[in-house]
Amino acid sequence: MSETVLSVKNLRTHFFTRAGVLKAVDGVSFDLAKGEIMGLVGESGSGKTVTGFSLLGLVDAPGRIVEGSIKLNGTELTTLSDVALRSRRGREISMIFQDPIATLNPMLTIGQQMKLAIDAHERLGNRAAEIRAAELLTQVGIPSAAARLRAYPHEFSGGMRQRVAIAIALLHRPSVIVADEPTTALDVSIQAQILFQMRDLARETGTAMIWISHDLAVVSSLASKLAVMYAGRIVEQGQTATLLRDPRHPYTAGLIASLPATAKPGAPLTQIRGTTPSLLSLPPGCAFAPRCDRATDRCSTEPNMTVQDSRGWRCFYPVSQRDEVSA
Amino acid sequence: MSDFLSIDNVSQIFGPNLTTGEKIAAKLGGKVETRSVRAVSDVTLSVRKGETLGLVGESGCGKSTLGRLIAGILPPTSGKVVIGGAPVMKNGSKVTTRVQTVFQDPFASLDPRMKVGNTVAEGPIAHTLTTKSEAPSYVASWFERVGLDPVWVDRYPHQFSGGQRQRIAIARALAMQPDVLICDEPVASLDVSIQAQIINLFLELTRDLGLTSVFISHDLSVVQHVSDRVAVMYLGRIVELGPVAQVFGEPAHPYTAALFGSVPKLVLDAEELVHFDTIEGEVPSPLSPPSGCYYHPRCPLATQTCGATQPVMQQISDLRAVACHHFEKQQADAISG
Ligand SMILES: Nc1ncnc2c1ncn2[C@@H]1O[C@H](COP(=O)(O)OP(=O)(O)OP(=O)(O)O)[C@@H](O)[C@H]1O
Ligand SMILES: Nc1ncnc2c1ncn2[C@@H]1O[C@H](COP(=O)(O)OP(=O)(O)OP(=O)(O)O)[C@@H](O)[C@H]1O
Ligand SMILES: [Mg+2]
Ligand SMILES: [Mg+2]
């Protein structure tokens, strides 16, 4: 059994807004082993980013973690002080944000920013820091890295800026990196390069990753494990290949079936009816029920996670391969 | 079959748009960007009636600009666009309602202070496709057509979800009774579960209304699904054109092959890590495109010729064309044979 670096149990992060309590993350649990990559997919607003923020202790008022446990290398993070948490952030766990422009300071050179990130957790001389920074930039595929340290962010393309953000996230060889849609703003051709590099880095350095994406194709070729979120809850999780081939939750099944890649060109796509629900007005029980063909009265109570053969799903009427064939 | 929409040698050059101060600074040798961008270069395309042409390529290659030129939103620097024999533009302004556009972000393209029913009615009333008194029933029929409840006409855009707003944008475009519909990334901002609904609506409407369309998307699987033919763009030029199954299945241009190879594909059966090919390097700046074939600095097949001369589009079979020095005559024969 491989070593667990991150263990999340029953995490609930709620926002106390004027319009009511918004349960952005509502009972999320998963484990991550050393070097493992987990894909986290789901509708817009389903709580993927808030899950990532919760892990890093970045949730601000009116939101807070109201329940649950986050253990990183055996240490419980939810009860740590801000100072103690900050000392771990960047060193043991780091995050790459969707927008690399927001991550980098336009007024500082790439070298200066990397030096600051190094200084946050280590004492290295200027020269040593520069060598370290250049090494990392080379590792993420930036040519003539030493010279590029003197450049400002605006002199880099979007793809190169995202690589710098990745290099900064990797600086202290953290145990876990949360990558929040790090390639969606980029070109398909650059996406592939970066995905490839990140996967190799995870393998070489033993860093585990949570890869947030709405793109099942990206996740299918990158992550060994997959968690599917809907309205603040993980509705299905397991090995990526298993989930994609044999989904149990009707939402997962619907997502896969709706992809053009799985259909005959020009033919109508299988569609999930209805619209994404508002987290402020969720129905009781399973949040997907109003859009689900299989739902009955029973679905107004919340299904627990059914766990079987190292996979799990939250549904009273799971889809199975046999149904598909007989249907 | 006859060509319905023809795009004839169209180019678009964006000037640097300098302020007077910047112009003076530039004259005095200051650091001011004075180069212009050739966003679209000598594009010639024709689309048959009822056909959907997909447009793909990396960010900044000029897809949206070409879409706006076809739609008559932007007057081309040179060249012309003709629909059913009539030009889209005269003296720099749009003179037809036969082409309409649907954009990526339906929130940005709808007036937030206007009731959505009025948004849809505005154009048709102005162009006498309906009258003020008949407008409510006219709008209601288009709402139904795109799968919206007609009782929602009095609501404002923020009261709708992203998918519903895109339906409103589609209703607004179709209420103008166009022959040609330009869709610029119409599903890119939508949730995956909603994308299929909008793609299905597009397929149904183009078929039922006999629309001719240009469909721009960075998602190759979507383009493959909805298009009859596809045009691949690189730095403002079309580098390959042909029936979608042929171009995707057997790309003739090295760039097309690299673009398709670099896209993460849905892998349903792999137990181990999948390998993807990547295109070397990044897209060069359109401010200073390379010499010769624009793709040559990234092309594994590049030779001296490629760095020196710009390849022209050559017909390689009835429906296919490619601009590449490597696509020799015999390969052409092999494909068409
Ligand atoms: N600071 C905040 N105050 C109030 N609500 C918030 C705040 N941040 C997030 N939320 C809400 O929490 C829910 C989950 O948001 P989150 O950003 O995690 O979604 P997501 O799954 O990352 O979506 P996307 O795919 O669009 O990035 C949303 O309903 C969002 O509106
Ligand atoms: N109004 C403008 N003024 C100056 N340059 C422009 C203008 N509009 C577009 N450009 C430039 O023209 C080129 C083509 O842009 P365009 O938006 O057509 O690309 P695109 O293929 O649609 O890209 P994307 O996939 O990112 O939407 C780019 O270099 C862009 O910066
Ligand atoms: Mg998010
Ligand atoms: Mg565009």
A192 Cα: distance to centroid of ligand 4 (angstroms): 20
Amino acid (1-letter code) at residue A207: T
- Burial string for B168-185 (b: 16+ CB within 10 Å, else e) reads bbbbbbbbbbbbbbbbbb
Q: Which of B193, B198, B220 to mutate to test the interface with A (most CBs of A within 10 A)?
A: B193
Concatenated DSSP letters for B22-83?
Answer: HHHHHHTT-S-----EEEEEEEEEEEETT-EEEEE-STTSSHHHHHHHHHTSS--SEEEEEE
**Where does chain B have alpha helices with state H?**
20-27, 63-71, 106-109, 116-126, 135-145, 162-174, 192-209, 220-226, 244-249, 254-262, 304-308, 329-336
pLDDT of residue A163: 84
What is the pLDDT of chain B when averaged over all its residues?
89
- Is A244 close to B191, i.e. CB distance below 8 A? no
CA dihedral A241, A244, A246, A249 (to 10 degrees): 130
> For every residue of chain A, which 3-state class applies, written as one string?
CCCEEEEEEEEEEEEEECCEEEEEEEEEEEEEECCCEEEEEECCCCCHHHHHHHHHCCCCCCEEEEEEEEEECCEECCCCCHHHHHHHECCCEEEECCCHHHHCCCCCCHHHHHHHHHHCCCCCCHHHHHHHHHHHHHHCCCCCHHHHCCCCHHHCCHHHHHHHHHHHHHCCCCCEEEEECCCCCCCHHHHHHHHHHHHHHHHHHCCEEEEECCCHHHHHCCCCEEEEEECCEEEEEEEHHHHHHCCCCHHHHHHHHHCHHHCCCCCCCCCCCCCCCCHHHCCCCCCCHHHCCCCCHHHHCCCCCEEECCEEECCCCCCCHHHHHHC
Of A105, A277, A262, the closest CA to residue B267 belongs to: A262
A262 touching chain B per CB within 8 A: yes
A98 Cα: distance to centroid of ligand 3 (angstroms): 8
B193 touching chain A per CB within 8 A: yes
- For chain B, domains (ranges, CATH) are 3-254 (3.40.50.300), 255-337 (no CATH)
Q: What is the pTM of this model?
A: 0.88
A281 touching chain B per CB within 8 A: no
Of A236, A241, A76, A124, the closest CA to residue B269 belongs to: A241
- Ligand 2 binding pocket includes B65 (Cβ within 6 Å): yes
How far are the Cα atoms of A228, A295, A299, B297, B314 from residue B192, in angstroms, in the given order? 13, 21, 24, 36, 38
Q: Residues near A199 by Cβ (< 8 Å), separated by ≥ 6?
A: A37, A222, B273
Q: Which ligand is nearest to the CA of B36?
A: 2
Contact A220, B269 (CB under 8 A): no
- Ligand 2 binding pocket includes B59 (Cβ within 6 Å): yes
B60 Cα: distance to centroid of ligand 2 (angstroms): 5
pLDDT of residue B337: 46
Q: Which ligand is nearest to the CA of A48?
A: 1
Model confidence at B336, in pLDDT bands (50, 70, 90)?
Answer: low
* ipTM of the complex as predicted: 0.82
pLDDT of residue A326: 42
Q: Residues near A322 by Cβ (< 8 Å), separated by ≥ 6?
A: none
pLDDT of residue B330: 46
How many angstroms away from the CA of A44 is the closest CA of chain B?
Answer: 6
Task: Give the residue, by CA position, lying nearest to ligand 2 atom 22.
Answer: B64
Model confidence at B331, in pLDDT bands (50, 70, 90)?
Answer: low
Contact A165, A100 (CB under 8 A): yes
> Measured from the CA of A181, which atom of ligand 1 is nearest?
27
- Ligand 2 binding pocket includes B61 (Cβ within 6 Å): yes
How far are the Cα atoms of A261, B55, B225 from residue B244, in angstroms, in the given order? 14, 10, 9
With beta carbons under 8 A apart, name residues in chain B contacting A187: 58-59, 218, 283
* CA–CA gap between residue B335 and residue B8 (Å, rounded): 27
* CA–CA gap between residue B263 and residue B72 (Å, rounded): 32
Query: What is the arithmetic mean of pLDDT over B278-283?
Result: 74
Query: What is the arithmetic mean of pLDDT over B4-25?
Result: 85
- For chain A, domains (ranges, CATH) are 4-92+173-326 (3.40.50.300), 106-171 (no CATH)
**Of residues B191, B222, B268, nearest to A244 (C-beta):** B268
pLDDT of residue A192: 73
Contact B301, B257 (CB under 8 A): no
pLDDT of residue A327: 41
B159 touching chain A per CB within 8 A: no
Of B255, B245, B252, the closest CA to residue B296 belongs to: B255
B287 touching chain A per CB within 8 A: no
The answer to whether residue B273 scores a pLDDT higher than 90 is: no
Query: Residues 75 to 134 of A: which have CB under 8 A from any B CB?
Result: none
- B165, exposed or middle or buried, with CB in 10 Å at 0-12, 13-18, 19+? buried
Contact A186, A131 (CB under 8 A): no
B204 touching chain A per CB within 8 A: yes
More confident residue, B175 or B269: B175
Contact B213, B45 (CB under 8 A): no
Kindly list the protein residues whose Cβ atom lies closer than 6 A to any atom of ligand 1: A 15, 17, 22, 24, 42, 44-50, 62-63, 214, 279
pLDDT of residue B306: 94
The answer to whether residue B328 scores a pLDDT higher than 70 is: no
How far are the Cα atoms of A280, B57, B142 from residue A247, in angstroms, in the given order? 28, 33, 37
Contact A34, A206 (CB under 8 A): yes
Q: Which ligand is nearest to the CA of B16?
A: 2
Greatest distance between any 2 Cα atoms in chain B: 68
Query: Residues 6 to 65 of B: which have CB under 8 A from any A CB?
Result: 58-59
Per residue of chain A (327 residues), give pLDDT as tens.
Answer: 579 999 999 999 999 999 899 999 999 999 999 999 999 999 888 999 999 999 999 999 999 999 999 999 999 999 999 888 888 888 899 998 877 667 788 899 999 999 988 888 888 888 888 998 998 888 787 878 888 899 898 888 777 888 888 888 888 889 999 999 877 667 767 777 777 778 888 888 889 999 998 888 888 888 999 999 999 999 999 999 999 999 999 999 999 999 998 889 999 999 999 888 888 888 899 999 999 999 999 999 999 999 998 999 999 999 986 555 444
Q: Name the closest residue on chain A to residue B165, using Cα atoms.
A: A275
- Is B269 close to A241, i.e. CB distance below 8 A? yes
**Inter-chain CB pairs, A–B, below 8 Å:** 140
- Ligand 2 binding pocket includes B37 (Cβ within 6 Å): yes
Amino acid (1-letter code) at residue A126: N
pLDDT of residue B274: 62
**Of residues A157, A189, A273, nearest to B278 (C-beta):** A189
The answer to whether residue B199 scores a pLDDT higher than 60 is: yes
* CA–CA gap between residue A74 and residue A77 (Å, rounded): 9
Query: What is the arithmetic mean of pLDDT over B73-91?
Result: 95
